Structures are given as C-alpha cells and as structure tokens.
C-alpha cells in the first residue's frame, strides 16, 4: 500500500511537471483577467525543400511566447500566441450567453525561418485554419482536456494536450469549475461533463413519454455559387481554380450535404515543381486540394475536408490516393457538367463549372483547357450508341420471332 501511495504521488507529480512545462498566459482587459490559457501544442509541418524533395519538421509551442493580438470581447475573444521567427498560433472563441466554443484555430508559419525550415524552396508566411473540437463549454467554467487531440489540415498536424482554457472570465477571476472534454471522460461514466464544486439537489425525473414526431424531409440545396481562387508565389499567380462545390458526408449514420460558400472564404496554399496545394477556408468548411505532376501530366491526388454542420460534431476526412482531373502540363482541366466523386466511403465531392490549373500559369490566365468527357464533342455519341444498340436488339428479337414462327408453321403443314 505504501509503495502504491508513493507511485500515485509520483504520477501526480509527473502530471503537474508536464503542466508546468506548458504555455501559461493570462489576458487582461481594464486590469482584470478576461482570458486564461494553459496548454501544450506540437506542430508537424511538411514543406518542399531545394531539390524538389518533401521534408517534415516537428517542433513544440515554446514556453516563451507573446500575446500581442489577443483580445477580449463580450461575444468574441481571441488568444494569439506569437513565437520564434514569425510564427503564431491563435484561437477564436465565441459565446451565446450560456456556452462558449472555439470556432477557429489559425496557425501561421514562416518558411523563411531557416533554423526551423532548412533549405526551404519557398519563403514567406503560410497559414492554415481548422475548426477545433472545443464546443458547448458552460460559461464561467474552464475547458479541461488532458488527452491528446490531433488536428490535421493540408501539410500541417497540430497536437494539443493538457489544455486548460477559460474564455470570457467573469469578475477577473479564473473559475474553479471545469467542463471536461469527452476524451477525458470514461465511456462507462454517465455523469455530465461539467463538474462543479458546489452541491445541488437534482431535479425530479418524470416518466411522461416524449411525443413521437415525424422527421421532415431534408430540403434540397440550391446550386452552389461559383468561386474564383488563386495562389501566388513571389507576387506571381501560380495556381488558378474556379468552381462551385458541395460536399456530402455520413456521420453517426446520418447523411449531410453542405454547399461551399465562396463569400468570405480565405485561400492559401503553395506551388512547387511537382506538387501544388490549394487550401480554402469558409465559416463552415475547410478543404485542401493537393495536385502532383507526374510524367508531364498533373492530377488531383489528395483531398482533405473538415466541415462544421449546423448540428452535431465537426466532420473530418481525407484521401491521398486519388487520380482525378488529369490534364497535360501546360494545360488546364475543365468540366462544366455536374460531377460527383467518391473520396472515401463517408465523403463525396460534387463539382459544378470546374476549371483548375495547378501548374504553369502565365499572366494570371488559364491555359487551353482539356475537357472532361461529358463536356467534349464526343459525349453526344453516348445516346447514339445506346440507340443503335437498342435498335439492333429489337431487330434481333424480331428476326428470332419470325424464324420461330416459320418453323412452327412448317411443322404444322408436315403433319
């Protein structure tokens, strides 16, 4: 028993030791604490180095950070941590008066930092946005999550753990109440996730059955709006894209479709000799499209989607083994017809008026397009071929009928 107690004490000391080596920041407004954060973050970034090779670098959020750019508001607050040579990590919180949530995390990294990204073929700042899994946190409580949560978008992985954050601090004092993340709650525990220090009397339960309702059919979405996007490298456009987009996904046995809205969308990405990337971030959807150049032809080889539906948990899915939108290098790919692509068993991509060129853009203009089959002049042959086949089948059936009837008549006459 004594050894068990000692071991438990050492484990607790180890936990506190880990927490003490995380980042701890306090944001004040009018000399009062308004936002508190304590957390640990690891970053893994892939980047293109000199020689057209892809390298990967891993580094932690250091203890020495600045909070310039952080702010506190009644309905929206921002925690921004700047570190190193031009890197920053920020999270935006919003509330509805009863609960608060983290609506967006933005990680910006500086490829010109040779110490972190040695021999990078690109320079300047890139940024990625993602919707974190922090939601439904009761006001005047701290969000607590010791478990690791990995967020992946594009070429960046972010792993968060030992997180203790309170946005919208009331009366200048951090709360002693915690809203615990689901990952820290044992699956067999039926207790609510919000743990308070005060004692309350539970409300009596009733056995009145809830009325049954019939779910209304999901409304049909309108055709999504076409957006125009570009990626620049050293002030020159290196990637062009134009399309309307819709995603469909299955989560918790429920199928959901969402249109991608170009209004308010931010675009980022990178261009290389053999790989290019376009990252689009709207209020509800973040999508990463990765292209590769092989044997003088390019194609879309990876799609990563993160979506935040109006109800339910955020959805995230990806596939990096695709072979779509193929065209010759120096050309663009076009498909005006509506197309749907099965990205994974749980994710479908719908495109309308698609036009992309991830390599060899000149003068900010698309090169000559290679069209998809549905747009090509040969597409009219499909209904003709079907018609010819049906006509041939009808003639074959008619001939078989006449031959059979003739044999039947001959047999009758011979009797």
Do the strands 332-335 and 369-371 form a parallel or antiparallel pair, or are they unpaired?
A: parallel
Residue, of 8 and 271, whose pLDDT is higher: 271
Residue whose C-alpha is closest to residue 166's, from 216, 246, 101, 249: 101
At residue 3, the pLDDT reads 42
| Domains recognised in the chain with CATH numbers | 12-186 (2.40.160.110), 227-374 (2.40.160.110)
* 413: CB partners within 8 A, 6+ apart: none
At residue 17, the pLDDT reads 35
Average pLDDT, the chain: 83
In angstroms, rounded to a whole number, what is the distance separating the alpha carbons of residues 405 and 380? 38
Tens of pLDDT, residue by residue over 93-114, are 999 999 999 988 999 999 999 9
Instruction: Find the radius of gyration of the CA atoms of the chain.
Output: 29
Residue whose C-alpha is closest to residue 89's, from 167, 158, 19: 158
* Confidence tier at 411 by pLDDT (50, 70, 90): low
Question: Would the pLDDT of 217 be above 90?
Answer: no
CA 147, chain centre distance (Å): 21
Tens of pLDDT, residue by residue over 61-81, are 998 999 999 999 999 999 999
Identify the weakest region by mean pLDDT among 31-40, 141-150, 378-387: 378-387
Please calculate the CA angle 292-293-295 and round it to the nearest 5 degrees. 140
Identify the weakest region by mean pLDDT among 187-201, 305-319, 367-381: 187-201
Contact (CB, 8 A) for 161 and 19? no
């Amino acid at each position: 028993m004594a050894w068990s107690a000692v071991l438990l004490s050492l484990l607790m000391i180890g936990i506190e030791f880990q927490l003490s080596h995380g980042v701890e920041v306090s944001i004040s407004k009018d000399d009062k604490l308004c936002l508190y954060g304590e957390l640990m973050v690891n970053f893994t970034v892939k980047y293109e180095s000199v020689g057209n090779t892809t390298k990967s670098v891993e580094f932690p959020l250091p203890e020495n950070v600045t909070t310039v750019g952080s702010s506190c508001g009644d309905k929206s607050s921002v925690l921004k941590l700047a570190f190193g040579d031009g890197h920053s990590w920020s999270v935006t919180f919003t509330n509805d008066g009863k609960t608060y949530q983290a609506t967006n995390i933005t990680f910006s990294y500086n490829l010109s930092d040779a110490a972190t990204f040695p021999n990078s073929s690109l320079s300047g700042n890139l940024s990625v946005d993602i919707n974190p899994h922090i939601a439904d946190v009761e006001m005047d409580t701290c969000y607590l999550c010791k478990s690791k949560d990995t967020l992946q978008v594009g070429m960046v992985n972010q792993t968060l753990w030992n997180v203790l954050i309170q946005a919208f601090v009331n009366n200048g004092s951090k709360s002693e109440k915690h809203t615990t993340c689901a990952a820290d709650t044992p699956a067999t525990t039926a207790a609510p996730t919000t743990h308070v220090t005060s004692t309350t009397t539970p409300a009596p339960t009733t056995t009145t059955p809830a009325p049954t309702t019939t779910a209304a059919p999901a409304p049909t979405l309108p055709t999504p709006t076409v957006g125009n996007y570009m990626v620049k490298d050293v002030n020159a456009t290196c990637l062009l894209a134009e399309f309307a987009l819709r995603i469909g996904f299955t989560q918790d046995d429920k199928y959901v479709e969402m249109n991608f809205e170009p209004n308010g969308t931010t675009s980022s990405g990178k261009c290389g000799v053999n790989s290019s990337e376009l990252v689009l971030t709207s209020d509800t959807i973040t999508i990463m499209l990765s292209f590769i150049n092989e044997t003088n032809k390019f194609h879309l080889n990876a799609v990563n989607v993160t979506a935040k539906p109006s109800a339910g948990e955020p959805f995230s899915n990806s596939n990096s083994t695709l072979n779509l939108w193929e065209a010759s290098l120096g050309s663009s790919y076009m498909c005006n017809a509506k197309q749907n692509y099965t990205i994974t068993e749980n994710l479908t991509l719908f495109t309308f008026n698609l036009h992309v060129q991830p390599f060899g853009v000149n003068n900010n203009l698309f090169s000559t397009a290679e069209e998809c089959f549905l747009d090509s002049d040969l597409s009219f042959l499909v209904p003709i071929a079907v018609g010819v086949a049906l006509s041939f089948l009808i003639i074959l059936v008619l001939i078989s009928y006449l031959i059979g009837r003739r044999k039947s008549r001959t047999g009758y006459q011979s009797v």
